[in-house]
Structure 1
Amino acid sequence: MVKDLIVIGGGPGGYAAALRAAGLGAKVTLVEREQLGGTCLNRGCIPTKALYKNAQVMRTIREASNFGISLSGYELDFSAVQARKQKIVQQLRSGMEQLVNHAGIQVVNGSGRLIDRHTVAVTAADGSVEKIKGSRILLAAGSEDAGLTVPGADLPGVLTTKDILEIKQIPSQLVIIGAGAAGIELAGIFEAFGSRVTVLEALPCILHFMDKDISKRLAVLLKQKGIRIKTGVQIQRIRRDENGLSVLTAGKQGEEEFSAEVVLTAAGRKVNIESLNLAEAGVACEHNRIPVDDGYATSVPGVYAVGDVIGGKMLAHKALAEGKVAVKNMFGLAAAVRNRAIPSCVFALQEAAAVGLTEQEARDRGIPLLVGSSPFTNNGKALIMGENDGFLKVMADAENKKILGVHILGPQATELIQVGTMAVELGLSAEDIERVMQAHPTLGESFLEAVLRLELKSV
């Protein structure tokens, strides 16, 4: 039977597309070599945030005396922590499998590759190959840890972000290579669990993709909690001796060596396109990504691509939105994803979130800016919660006062960013925000306060 759509990849972009197409009445086959949900559900977003919640609870217990509560005799049962994490992952995966099954989507386990614009070959774990025919094909193969190429990167105890989520014991000393979202999140998690954490970053700052006000302030907060951060250093090698692992770096201060029980490599990701057989199938590939048009069509008619494989921000919610829009376009329902309002969230020791332009991006574009910032030290709810570090920063175009960017460091920043995302996506102005009444006392009041403080900032 010829399918209406074959999807390669069962992550957010792939399963969202498959479900949307099935909802439109299409006959769909979904090819996945591991488990439905992709990296996000099984090896990334969900398990990491499950551990993050445990870390939050640990910090709450440590700081209980601030609320007049005296505690003693507690300890962390890491096996129970891991079991809870796995239960959450399994529950979500089971729910997804039920949705896919109920929608009548055929799931084929194996690694898919293109033969031509209408044919996908699927290699199963036992080496057998099945060819599937379809009128349309969607590539949503995702990405994986880029790893390191330095000497010693393959030593026992050098782990990827996937590996560290499955460890059985908390390392006494953890060196993390990479200060992006994954590295910073895991630094905060394992610090709360009792590890002595060092973060090494080649770039001049942590979270380089975020507004500099956030990266600078968060670095200070992390250091105050005992996390050592070294930026502007290049990894030379990793070696093992009688005391464990050590990481040699080179930077402005010369060569330095950092001891560890475990080394985590979190220095980026690479897209999964090598096994897709793109060249032989005639699908163009540029700069290690698949170029697509506004409807997510590739250079080959009938073949589409979404998510990490097309480049840009590697975020689950971006892939999910693209998968839905790609299906609408391939079945004649015109739609588009506007990339100006893609929120980024970091579940760090203090949450960080952002949407729209950073101040540096606005400066580079020569946009005259209005900038307003409201510190959480002035927010009643934050003070009540005992989490008043950070700020909420809003940027608007000085000419029309439209909101261009929202940047948050502070309690529940990853929830607060939803309002900022709507403001940027819908092109709301400062006046629009000022007309909306904010409930009191809430963290959301800081958004209005930041808007009310908008002042011209020369760029």
Structure 2
Amino acid sequence: MAYDVIVIGSGPGGYVAAIRASQLGFKTAVVERESLGGICLNWGCIPTKALLKTAQVYEYTQHSKDYGITIGDAKVDFDAVIKRSRGVADKMSRGVQFLMKKNKIDVIMGTGKLKGKGQVEVTDKDGKATVYDAKHIILATGARARELPNLQIDGKNVIGYRQAMVLPQQPKSMIVVGSGAIGVEFAYFYATLGTKVTIVEFMPRIVPVEDEDISKELEKIYKKKGIEIMTNASVEAVEAAGNGVKAKVKTQTGEITLEADVVLSAVGIAANIENLGLEALGIKTDKGRVTVDKYYQTNVPGVYAIGDMVPGQALAHVASKEGIVCVEAIAYNEKKYAHKPETIDYMNIPGCTYCAPEIASVGYTEKAAKEAGYEVKVGKFPFSASGKASAAGATEGFVKVIFDAKYGEWLGTHMIGANVTEIIAETVVARKLETTYQEVLDAIHPHPTMSESVKDAIEVAYGEAIHL
């Protein structure tokens, strides 16, 4: 019952760390209390994309005449929509099971916690506890929906993202509290299927972490879709009213009452750090997250933490890379790996939001670049000027690039449009390689594509626009 590495949690941080550990010659086990793949594969990234694809397909049917195709009255089978999403999630979870077997990783089902130095106690569904020994323990327990004191999730009147993915029937109206990625994605999904959606956002603009131009564009597009948006507003209380709810909303001009079938709380996440035995070992935390060094070692030797439970962007691809860096650092120290892994540059992490149109960004916003002291060159290229976008009937949005005027350094890119999450990687790689604007312009981009709009935006920034 002894291992070189035990990983608690099998999300995109945990299962990736386990695979890399096994590849490097460590005897490895993963502890999982629910389903392999964690929230991302089962209740987050993957099944939500299945729901959003359904909404997109339905939206196509509503505009089929624009493409020269006449379709009869398309109807939404909500049960079938939910069933497809769950099927996609189940398939991906089975894929992780296969990867565990392929890499000879033991899967221990149950709830894991730190028992003592080098020990993990796992309690199975029947309450039986077993203690396992491990030289290295990696905590990868992820996060859950954050709850506000006045907006407690009860699963009926106020729901979280998990309930929003498996509602027994489609609500006629919904209030979405919070306009981060989760909020705007579900707002698009339900609004497209016919639910009357109102977004309530505490900050002055929706998707507040994005560049201001992106926020303005998404708000304009969402309002055109019929989604009501209230910014500088907060839900103060929710009470049941008949078969629905009444929500008291505080605005800059006073308090109003909104009625809806249900309220979706999408106000962020909280790390799962409770009941892990952190206190018994004296593992340090700060602001609800585990404190780690650049190789994800906690203050207690042999215990590490990665993913949503540590500081940094709470994104699946971040957790995966943290897991790899963590394991490779362990392997290097034990002479199982040739070199110390390069640490993560958290200023070069792409963020993607899969509403429609999609949002993708990396690096500095225009405002942040100026506040950091850069003199900037900014270029924007609208998809309305893109041949591929026009052919696809997807002309909403734009690409915005930000460069340092002095050295030509690529500071950031911000996109909103169809499938832009598929083209943000160009900026990530270019920034990693410290590429200048001229090198990008000298690299031939394929035509016609949406991706060539990145080059077009750079041309705008430097006064060399050809297609605008």
Q: TM-score, normalised by structure 2?
A: 0.95
Deviation at 1:152, TM superposition (A): 6.7
How far, CA to CA, are the matches of 1:117 and 1:207 in structure 2? Answer: 43
Task: Summarize deviations over 1:189-233 as a string: whole Å, max 9, x none.
Answer: 011111000111111111111111101110110011000010111
Equivalent residue in structure 2 for 1:344, among 335, 351, 356: 351
Compute the displacement of 1:112 (Å).
1.2
| Paired AA for residue 268 in structure 1 | G
Q: What SS class does the counterpart of residue 112 from structure 1 fall into?
A: strand
The CA distance in 2 between the partners of 1:46 and 1:193, in whole Å, is 19
Once the two structures are superposed, the pairs formed by residues 278-427 of structure 1 within 5 Å of their partners are 278-332=278-332, 333=337, 334-335=340-341, 336-427=343-434
Distance 1:109 1:254 in 2: 51
Look up the equivalent residue of 2:356 and give its one-letter code: L
Aligned-pair CA distance for 1:455: 4.7
Q: CA deviation at 1:117?
A: 3.2
Superposition deviation, residue 155 in structure 1:
7.0
Contact kept? 1:153, 1:238, Cα under 8 Å: no
Counterpart of 1:205 in structure 2: which amino acid? Answer: R
**Cα distance, 1:152–1:329 mapped onto 2, change above 3 Å:** closer
2:292 is the alignment partner of 1:256: no
Q: State the secondary structure of the residue aligned to 1:131.
A: strand
Q: Give the match's secondary structure for 1:331.
A: helix
- Secondary structure in structure 2 of the residue aligned to 1:90: helix
How do 1:9-158 and structure 2 match up within 5 A? Answer: 9-150=9-150, 153-154=153-154, 156-158=156-158
Distance, in Å, in 1 between the alignment partners of 2:74 and 2:101 is: 44
When residues 310 and 153 of structure 1 are mapped into structure 2, their CA distance, relative to the original with a 3 A threshold, is: closer
Contact conserved, 1:11 with 1:140, CA < 8 A, in 2? yes
8 A contact 2:12–2:319 mirrored in 1: yes
AA at the equivalent of 2:53: K
Cα RMSD (Å) of the superposition?
A: 1.4
Q: TM-score, normalised by structure 1?
A: 0.97
- Matched residue of 1:186: which SS? helix
- The unaligned stretches of length 5 or more in structure 1 are none
Q: CA separation in 2, counterparts of 1:253 and 1:125?
A: 52
Cα distance in 2, alignment partners of residues 155 and 402 from structure 1: 48
**Shift in Å at residue 153 of structure 1?**
4.9
* One-letter amino acid of the structure 1 residue matched with residue 349 of structure 2: I
Q: Does 1:223 align with 2:223?
A: yes
Instruction: For 1:11, give the aligned amino acid.
Output: G
| Counterpart in the other structure of 2:182 | 182
Q: Is the 8 A contact 1:340 1:425 kept in 2?
A: no
Secondary structure at 2:174's aligned position in 1? Answer: strand
Offset, 1:148:
2.8
**Contact 2:43 2:89 survives alignment (8 Å):** no
Contact in 1 for aligned 2:153/2:160 (Cα 8 Å): no
Q: Is the 8 A contact 2:151 2:158 kept in 1?
A: no
Residue 438 of structure 1 aligns to a residue whose secondary structure is coil
Residue 311 of structure 1 aligns to which amino acid in structure 2? P
SS in 1 for 2:348: coil
